[in-house]
């Protein structure tokens, strides 16, 4: 029996989030430049995106570039930016064929103009697709996102547009980059690091965490299947006891 057949089609996670890690180490192991790891990472992006879309995952969020990544050597940053543009050019037909809508979270205002333009164009081209939404986290960090939300809320209160007593977890979520996107059901991190690295800190309150030692460029469809099978074996309780968690009550 193929691994894929072990997946319960009635319990597919709605939202899968991924910290793609280990490109640099993958390249180093092969005696190559770090950028070669990123180049091979694109194949893993394609595999995971296709596998998720085929299984009926509704949202796939990939941590592609963090706020902190701007501090990497200029050559590496530039290589990642041009890889992003090349990949968007090469994959637009795949996105259309698979009915995938592209979205981003993060501070696009500090992305190079050409990259931002390409992103906006691809977002526009795929806007009417209603299969899976592929969310690229670019120039993103959770502390940046949460601070932004707090600032915006404070401004609205000062301007008299928002009553302080209306601030609760639902309203706060509306001010985040992930507005209208359900929280991730599972967060996958590759490369054997057991950290969250400033990714979706608000949204992962009840997310199942899955870690694999494999480096990102080695990741294939089978690895996503394994993560989902592991996820499906878990009992999600959202802070309640077993009996309660089987009922579909508001979190
Ligand atoms: C982490 O590995 C990976 C990144 C910071 C970039 C991820 C980018 C890609 C997979 C390629 C392009 C992406 C898209 C969406 C087209 P690392 O460099 O931190 O590896 P290390 O921890 O081994 O140094």
15-66 per-position pLDDT tens digit: 999 999 999 999 999 999 999 999 999 999 999 999 999 999 999 999 999 9
For residue range 102-159, what is the model confidence (pLDDT) as tens digits? 999 999 999 999 999 999 999 999 999 999 999 999 999 999 999 999 999 999 999 9
Candidate from 23, 33, 85 with most ligand 1 atoms within 8 A of CB, to mutate: 23
- Tokens describing residue 87: 């990949």
Domain ranges of the chain: 3-139+184-237+244-248
Dihedral Cα 238, 140, 52, 183, nearest 10 deg: 20
pTM beyond cutoff 0.85: yes
Distances (CA, A) of 57 to 105, 183, 216, 250: 18, 13, 20, 22
Which residue, by CA, sits nearest to atom 1 of ligand 1?
A: 21
Mean pLDDT taken over the chain: 96
42 lines ligand 1 (CB under 6 A): yes
Cα(45)–Cα(59) distance, integer angstroms = 14
Q: Which helix (H) or strand (E) holds 17?
A: strand 15-19
Q: Which residues contact 171 (CB under 8 A, 6 or more apart)?
A: 153
Q: Which residues contact 114 (CB under 8 A, 6 or more apart)?
A: 85
Q: Catalytic site residues? A: 21, 69
Residue 249, pLDDT score: 46
Determine the distance separating the centroid of ligand 1 and the alpha carbon of 226, expressed in angstroms. Answer: 21
217 lines ligand 1 (CB under 6 A): no
b (16+ CB within 10 A) / e for 119-134: beebbeebeebeebbb
What is the position in ligand 1's atom list of the atom closest to the CA of 76? 18
Q: Which residues contact 66 (CB under 8 A, 6 or more apart)?
A: 137, 139, 140, 141, 197, 198, 199
Residue 240, pLDDT score: 84
Determine the distance separating the centroid of ligand 1 and the alpha carbon of 141, expressed in angstroms. Answer: 15
118 lines ligand 1 (CB under 6 A): no
Residue 251 has pLDDT above 90, yes or no: no
| Phi, psi of 158, deg, nearest 5 | -60, -40
Pick the CATH number of 3-139+184-237+244-248 from 3.40.190.10, 3.40.1180.10, 3.40.50.410, 3.60.20.30: 3.40.1180.10
Exposed / middle / buried, residue 229 (Cβ in 10 Å: 0-12, 13-18, 19+): middle
Determine the distance separating the centroid of ligand 1 and the alpha carbon of 93, expressed in angstroms. Answer: 23
Which residue, by CA, sits nearest to atom 4 of ligand 1?
A: 64
Work out the pLDDT band at 242, boundaries 50, 70, 90.
confident
């Amino acid at each position: 029996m193929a691994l894929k057949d072990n997946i319960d089609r009635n319990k597919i996670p709605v939202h899968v989030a991924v910290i793609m890690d280990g490109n640099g180490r993958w390249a180093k192991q092969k005696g190559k430049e770090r950028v070669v790891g990123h180049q091979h990472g694109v194949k893993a992006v394609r595999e995971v995106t296709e596998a998720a879309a085929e299984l009926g995952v509704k949202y796939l969020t990939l941590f592609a570039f963090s706020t902190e990544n701007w501090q990497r050597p200029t050559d590496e940053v530039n290589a990642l930016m041009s890889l992003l543009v090349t990949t968007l050019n090469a994959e637009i037909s795949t996105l259309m064929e698979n009915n995938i809508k592209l979205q981003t979270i993060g501070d696009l205002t500090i992305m190079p103009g050409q990259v931002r333009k390409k992103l906006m164009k691809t977002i526009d081209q795929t806007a009417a697709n209603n299969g899976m939404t592929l969310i690229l986290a670019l120039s993103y960090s959770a502390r940046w996102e949460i601070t932004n939300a707090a600032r915006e809320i404070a401004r609205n209160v000062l301007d008299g547009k928002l009553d302080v007593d209306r601030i609760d977890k639902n309203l706060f979520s509306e001010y985040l980059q992930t507005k209208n996107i359900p929280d991730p059901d599972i967060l996958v991190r590759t490369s054997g690091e057991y950290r969250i690295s400033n990714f979706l800190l608000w949204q992962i309150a009840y997310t199942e965490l899955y870690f694999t030692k494999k480096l990102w460029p080695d990741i294939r469809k089978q690895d996503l299947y394994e993560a989902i099978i592991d996820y499906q074996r878990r009992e999600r309780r959202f802070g309640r006891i077993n009996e309660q968690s089987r009922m579909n009550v508001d979190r």
